[in-house]
Amino acid sequence: MSESVAEKTRHKINSNPFIYKALQADILNYSTTASFLFNTDKTESVAAAIRRYQSTLPKFDQKSSRVTIRVLTPVEVQEMDNPCTATPLLRLGKYRIIETDGGHTALVLTGEISHSLFITMLSRLTIANIEPVAHSFVENTAYIIVDNTEQITALRLIEETADSYYE
């Protein structure tokens, strides 16, 4: 007998610890996650299965992590010359990052972030051929802006880098 969509979805999530953790933390887009897990545009039934499975998971314990990652999507990178009424999430030189209907995702990292860890994270993204649209580091906060299509892979790499950095 063939597995149901729900069973296949649970198996895929359990095989990807970074997705499991992100679901516990309630920081993933269901449709994007469904596309990533099954490499398809037909995501409705898988997204519904993800939602149902997420409701059974224990909530993520942020106290155990030295780095907290918030995922803000969608965001847009705009030149400061363009008129805008939205409050920028971040200003970088002549650009601003705003929460709007853009095609990018902001990964906002807080906690025990050092320059060394931030550079290591950017290097991991480069090795995976993920070119951040923008990035910034100020004190214990880092911003990494990636294309929406690279959101899940970027999140996984950043989590793995932070976890291994503090082992």
| Tens-digit pLDDT profile for residues 105-147 | 999 999 988 888 999 999 999 999 999 999 999 888 999 999 9
pLDDT in tens, 40-97: 777 889 989 999 999 998 876 554 568 899 999 899 988 888 888 788 888 888 888 9
pLDDT at 136: 92
Structure tokens at 55: 């409701």
Read off the pTM. Answer: 0.63
- Taking the CB of residue 61, how many other CB atoms lie within 10 A of it? 9
Angle between helix 44-54 and helix 5-14 axes, rounded to 10 deg? 60
Between the two ends of the chain, the Cα-to-Cα distance in Å is 43
Given the candidates 3.30.870.10, 3.20.20.70, 3.30.70.260, 3.40.190.10, the CATH classification of the domain at 65-165 is: 3.30.70.260
Domain boundaries, the chain: 5-60, 65-165
